[in-house]
Amino acid sequence: MSMAARSADRRPSAATVEILRTLVGFPTVSRDSNLDLIHWVRDYLASHGVASVLTSGKDPGKANLFATIGSGEGGIVLSGHSDVVPVDGQDWHSNPFVLEERDGLLFGRGTCDMKGFIAACLAKVPMLASANLSEPVHLAISFDEEIGCKGAGHMIEELVARGLRPRGCVVGEPTSMEPVIGHKTGSAYGCAVHGLEAHSSLAPYGVNAIFYAARLIARIEAIAARLRAEERRHPGYSVPFSTLSAGVIEGGQASNIVPALCRFRFDIRTLPWTDPDAIVAELQTYIDHELLPEMRAVHAGARIEITMNGRVPGFAIDADAPLTRHVQRLAGSNAEPGFVAFGSEAGLFQARGVPTILCGPGSIEQAHKPDEFVALDQLARCEDFLDRLAQTPFEPA
């Protein structure tokens, strides 16, 4: 049976679909503001008697939202991000910011990553607000997750400052409603190689920044090959070793000019037992002891600068941890918990002592692509999950 046919078997509530329609209509691409969406959610929650706390970083056009339904200590956080990736240059068959239903699927940017989860949570607010909850349910909606989880950190610091100590967190990333218990640490870097410009006919009198950048990239590739050959494997991951990859490079002005500047960006995705800072330190040693002496023999002002542009910490929770078993029961899952290649804010919650797991509607295979979609059946399963969450106390011990 096809996915579309299976999806048509069950529908979520009309409330979830309509809220998702509203959320998709806010074009919250990470480079733009998310305030219209956040303010709409704040007002929606207020209409059901739920107060919100908004936090932001240095960008006045961005905000996180944190809200608590119910009272008492502890509680479970339901966490999702409001931002989406761009649609520029993608071949969509419908308006990416207008929800469209076709063959049991809901199309639109962010439907699976991850406004579908947020919509289902918001649709359940009236039920949660009127339920006799044994402990509170917290809603956490962050900004700029797609460019390094930049918003969640501010929200979590506010949570800590207010003395809130949730007993667990479910990040609703698209996992097809199957529990996920780990992902790698992702670190993004920029590198600027500063040499000395010269006419290409006098190449030995210049310091070719592209040549030295290429040598450094070759060393990055060599480290990646070493990890692939020698690092201890993690059988839970489809790529069971840490990886390095160069993604963007730019430099030079003309073929007859020795370039004085070359910039490139690279990322490192590491398993728990590999330290990305140690990898960068190894690169710095290579720079200091091999590249710079050669460069400065020609030009004393030559330099190479590596900067970290962002880091999404990895996370891991035991397959038999109380939160894992609880989420398996809520999701009605009989599968062994898995691992994913993408990142999330899970590690940020975990670093603050909040046990965290991923479980949400939709598949990451549809995320970031043209014609992104979430299946109606997946949203219905998410609603079932939330109904059980309201009815089933979490026993962490």
The residue from 100, 113, 144, 145 that is catalytic is: 145
Could you list the residue range(s) of the whole structural domain that residue 281 is in? 185-312
pLDDT attached to residue 1: 33
Full-model pTM:
0.89
Is 299 a domain residue?
Answer: yes
Give the residue-averaged pLDDT of 362-377.
Answer: 96
Give the residue-averaged pLDDT of 140-169.
Answer: 93
The residue from 83, 113, 345, 372 that is catalytic is: 83
The count of domains in the chain is 2
145 part of the active site: yes
Buried b or exposed e, range 173-204, using 16+ CB within 10 angstroms? bbbbbbbbbbbbbbbbbebbbbbbbbeeeeee
Give the residue-averaged pLDDT of 303-330.
Answer: 96
pLDDT attached to residue 154: 92
Query: Last residue of a domain, which of 312, 328, 359?
Result: 312
pLDDT attached to residue 2: 39
Q: What's the pLDDT tens digit per position in 36-57?
A: 999 999 999 999 999 999 999 8
217/274 same-domain check? yes
pLDDT attached to residue 58: 85
Whether the pLDDT of residue 263 is over 60: the answer is yes
Whether the pLDDT of residue 233 is over 80: the answer is yes
pLDDT attached to residue 122: 98
Q: Is residue 70 within 8 Å of residue 130, measured between CB atoms?
A: no
Q: What's the pLDDT tens digit per position in 236-250?
A: 999 999 999 999 999
Is 395 a domain residue?
Answer: no
pLDDT attached to residue 228: 98
Share the mean pLDDT of the chain. 95
CATH at 85: 3.40.630.10
171/190 same-domain check? no
Is 114 a domain residue?
Answer: yes
Whether the pLDDT of residue 6 is over 60: the answer is no
343/268 same-domain check? no
Query: Last residue of a domain, which of 257, 289, 312?
Result: 312
CATH at 217: 3.30.70.360
45/179 same-domain check? yes
pLDDT attached to residue 9: 74
292/176 same-domain check? no
pLDDT attached to residue 186: 95
Q: What's the pLDDT tens digit per position in 173-182?
A: 999 999 999 9
Give the residue-averaged pLDDT of 287-308.
Answer: 98
Is 6 a domain residue?
Answer: no
Rounded CA-CA distance 136/49 in Å is 14
Residue percentage of the chain with pLDDT more than 90: 93
303/321 same-domain check? no
pLDDT attached to residue 5: 40
Is 57 a domain residue?
Answer: yes
212/277 same-domain check? yes
45/128 same-domain check? yes
65/108 same-domain check? yes
Angle at 249 (CA atoms; ends 244, 252), nearest 5 degrees: 150
Is 9 a domain residue?
Answer: no
251/137 same-domain check? no
Is 1 a domain residue?
Answer: no
Single-letter amino acid, residue 320: D
pLDDT attached to residue 3: 41
Query: Last residue of a domain, which of 288, 312, 336?
Result: 312
pLDDT attached to residue 4: 41
268/298 same-domain check? yes
40/136 same-domain check? yes
Place of tokens 């200590």: 73
> Judging by beta carbons within 10 Å of its beta carbon (0-12, 13-18, 19+), is residue 260 exposed, middle or buried?
buried
Close Cβ partners of 343 (under 8 Å, ≥ 6 residues apart): 149, 183, 184, 185, 186, 312, 314
Is 3 a domain residue?
Answer: no
Give the residue-averaged pLDDT of 60-71.
Answer: 96
Q: What's the pLDDT tens digit per position in 76-108?
A: 999 999 999 999 999 999 999 999 999 999 999
CA-based torsion, 154, 349, 122, 13: positive or negative? positive
